[in-house]
Structure 1
Amino acid sequence: MLPYFHLLLVSSIFTFASSSSSSPPQPSPTKNLTLLGSAHFKNNSIILTQELTTCNSRSNSPVGRVLHSFPVRFLRSSSNSTVSFSTRFTFTIVPPSPPCLAGDGIAFLIASDPSSLPHTDGYLGLPDSPASHPFFAIEFDTTFNPGLGDINDNHVGVDVDSIISVASIDLMSEGIDLKSGKRITVWIEYRDPEKIIRVWVGYTDTKPEYSVLAVPIDLSKTLKEFMYVGFSASNGRGSSIHSIQKLQIHTFESLTPNTQMETVSSRNCLMCYPDDPSIEEAEISLYNDHHKDNRVLELAFGLLSITFLLIMVATISVLYCMCLTKRQAIKQRCNENAQMYRFQEAGVPKKLKLSEIRSATKEFDQNRIIGEGASSKVYEANLPSCGNVAVKRFSKVNQPSTLGNQFATELATMVGCLRHKNLVQLQGWCCEANELVLVYEYMPNGSLDKLLHRRTNATRTLTFEKRLNILLGVSSALVYLHEECERQIIHRDVKTCNIMLDADFNAKLGDFGLAEVYEHSERGRDATLPAGTMGYLAPEYVYSGIPTVKTDVYSFGVVVLEVASGQRPVNEDGVVVTEWVWDLWEKRILFAAADPNLMGRFDKVDMERMLMAGLICVHPNSQRRPTMKEAGRMLRGGLVPDLPVKKPTVMIQSVMPERTTEMVARMCGEDADTPWSTPRTHFSSKAG
């Protein structure tokens, strides 16, 4: 969806009047920029501050700013709620030669009253005391002032109504030196539905995969209906050249989770530098033509209206013919294959041609593999009819020879039930030329397993709030499978490898290769070989071979403990996470299980509740485990039942036939390739 931009023209000429300003606003070579203080244009750049002739002279260090000439609407006209916004800009900070100190740095700024901001004395041009007028800023600070809570002289921080940052991060740890003199590109995005601000920083024009800073914040309490947007810089007691080479700012009134906020065209840009000359020339030409010959313009509009009407009539006629032809073709296909017609009418994803899949995967190119298991391989592909997808190709030895009516009916019944926002959706399928292929939606952020256990910047993006939201999404999916489907479905392989994350880190449960469908009225179930992954299997399921909803609850509990602690179900030393957390509970130090990568950025009560909910879900006695609906209620802040002082011991007697028990015992031995251990298949990108 294209962004909806608001631009209010409050007067034909707008200036910022202030008796203390060091210089009047300068005319801008672009349409909507106003320069203040020491800011000026030079060599296709906006120079905010320049190197001073005398170091350590605050009286000669005015602030430089560039602002949008008119106030910008930050409240939606329809709902009176805050809009989302994004900016991308390239800047350079050239420090002075020793012994002079570097300047203060540069800041992206949103202010309600520019005249209330200081004009000298540094602090990046931001107020050095609690502001009487609200403002929001992302600072790129090159001075170290402990009194202001600075972490060092090379950091990015988030400021709300104060220059004391609410959050900051050392950019040197990300390989970025603000005072290197290199061009630095910054992307800033605020998504109001998520109430989170994200910042990316890099030396190239390619947006990094992971943000350096992601801060939960509600700007609706700071942003007024109209605010001024721009950039500010100062030298303080130092002397640096702060310059901006490119800038783009957009606002978004309507924003979907998949909307890409990157700005690439100055046509849709609220505040841009440099402008697109062709656009400006076209606008000037249109303006002159209007004043030269008003009648000619009216005639042109009349002809344009007639032409538009004719095009509309022709388009409607073509669409009608196309729809009629398509309906006849569908009717003919349905008459030829009534079973396939019922299959399509049931809402099952469409059948795809093998040639289309082969073309999209480049003949199943090995370089496109993003997941691989014992029975299948997963390829990244782009299908014209489905977009970016994950193609799961089953090994030929594990395929049925034909796709019979019974298989089609069962597939339609199962897939028709799996329609939930927290389940990976099947887009299409193919059974042709001895090939069996399933096509799933593509998950940009990959699996939770990769993101949780990858010790990089990606791990830091998994804040406590995101982890909790992921767990709530998985619990919602399992409630749907257990209680809300026409037929009850037991997943049997709930684990972080099978929890996929979309672009906004929403969880989607996938890989139903081991799932079993049951009638709700069904009383007895036959014992089978246990299926799943060691570390996630409930003890009674390992011994009995009978899956129940409580075996899924146990697996979910392991996932909860894994997400809260950052520990794998079974680590390299053989330590089982459930045993480890039970031991901490017995020692009354449960809080010690919290993932150190969270750096304590969570509420202690919420963390302990999450760990306790995980423990009650992995209770050795399946009867003591909650339902998935109760587990989700606990994670949302509900009461967690009392846990035993020590981990209880529950004796489980196998009800499987003796031959089957021997098979399980044999597979638990030296044979690593057990058929009941699900392969780690990821419908995700290869990144990480």
Structure 2
Amino acid sequence: MHPRKAFIIILLFFFAIFGFLDPAVLAEKTSFQFPSFPLRDISLLGDSYLRNGVIGLTRSIDVPSSSSGAVIYNNPITFFDPETNTTASFSAKFTFSINNVNPSSFGDGLTFFLSPSNRTLGSPGGYLGLVNSSQLTRNKFVAVEFDTRLDPHFNDPNENHVGLDIDSMNSINTADPILQGIDLKSGNLINAWIDYKNEQRKLMVFLSYSSLKPEKPILSVDINLSDYFKTIMYVGFSASTEGSTELHQIENWSFQTIGFIPARPKSHPHNVSDSSMTVAVDISKPSSGKKHDKKLGLGVAIAGLAFFCVVLLVLVYVSVKKLRGVRKQKTFKTDFVACPREYSYKELKLATKGFHPSRIIGHGSFGTVYKAFFLSTGTIAAVKRSRHSHEGKTEFLAELSIIAGLRHKNLVHLQGWCAEKCELLLVYEFMPNGSLDKMLYHETKRGHLLNWSHRVNIAIGLASVLSYLHQECEQIVIHRDIKAGNVLLDGNFNPRLGDFGLAKLMDHDKSPVSTLTAGTMGYLAPEYLQCGMATEKTDVFSYGVVVLEVACGRRSIEREGQKMVNLVDWVWGLHSEGKIIEAADKKLKGEFKEEEMRKLLLLGLSCANPDSAERPSMRRVLQILNNEVASLAVPKLKPSLTFSSGLPLTLDEIVSDGEEDNTDNSMCEIKIV
């Protein structure tokens, strides 16, 4: 136990003994206010995003799509106090809007929910991002839905209603806000108040366009929620669409729990009210027995105080003894954002067999990756171990601070971290199919082959997560090291982007900052090589190279005889000859649709265009892959660019993990063809 926590516990115990503290007030209450949303206090799941302090729960696009997303307050909230057998009341207030670029394309709505799980995310459509369509009873929740589509499957009354849902999308009770002049689909900001009063066993929902809380609720349900509240619950919002462009946004949010005041026992079984009491006063001279009791009580009090002092001294001694270790950890821990779990070094060392070479499954910009078996839980994870250097610490903190706040189905999920014994360790979920490069280039050894549907899914998934990083986060996340080796594959060959050791954050609408070039040769955009300017478009270039690798089954740079062949140049050469389909991976044995292959190859060339201004955004790439917009025209001849500037002249300068500015003043001209 941490010394400070132990001290507080002993102090509370001491006060309780002497009657200064009422145990009834120990139950934890929660209260928070978000005039705008800070990323450090919330988790974004699915397609949700944070932009300018406002939460978007579903994709913000101009074409119909299916989408689901959720946002959850990071800290668990106590709703039941087992000490007093008391359930909390709660009050929530938030401002939301439901808008649409196409008024005829509304659906499906949003919810405010409470759940025992902090990973609640369901399917699109009428499931409102709460319920998994294939496992209808898996997610447990209490939710208030603001539904904008009539779904007969869930017995919806109309396409504009408020309902109370418990573990099911079939509402217990519903109400029509139109009766009070509130149109959920108006696009206007709507203020909502949700109050649950445990003593009255009643939940009420109020809606208004103004900031004044109405006197009459839209929905009032007599229900005892204590039957559904666990000791610990999480609160949040979810939303979904299915074939629509409906946009769901949460502008602000405040929440508090109320209660944990148990009914006080009556002073006498026959008293009429709690205020009744019987007072007995003994004014007689105390007997010798009473004197003895008084002395005994005083002795117990002194002994208790002495015991407390001894424990306190021992605590101080232990704290001083551990001070050096605490100081070593403090620098790291103060830099960390909220993470799922802090592992002990002993636990990770045991799980990796002492970081045995036989457990190595890969290497990244951060360090070495080990396969870890946790015998206590029977689970498998991947542990990334830092290089023992200043750069290792910098990349460790960069990766932890960035990825811990991100939530997307195509990101490798961070499970925890460890900073002990001069070791820097990150724990990720294990990807059973390894990295994309190993699957593409060592398939015969592994007995696997990526079929065409797998490859298309990889291109779409990678585009989806990069669109999220570039356009849907509070700050733009530029990965800077997108390559086949950093794309991992789960058990169903779905792509997961990992290794954020070189990633950078950049504010939206701000100019990028020039840094020394970092990354992997063959994936670096020409303007990045030229001036070290990392932008979203440098990630787009790297994505284009990966897409060409997926389609062609060739590395970004390959040796053919005595020369090195660049994949982009090779594919563009075939395109200029009208034979681009010949670039298709021969291992596919022609088992693909020719038009789909042509489309993927041309998309790869569009992204890998030497002119960054001609490259599409990742959102446009995703729309092309989803057949929502037309493909871009690709010139037959690869464009050529000429520019002059201070250019790194050696390979060591070009490929570097450092962050110092490039001060080489050597001038040269480079021509990209």
TM range (shorter): 0.3 to 0.5
The structure richer in strand per residue is 2
- TM-score for the superposition, normalised by structure 1: 0.45
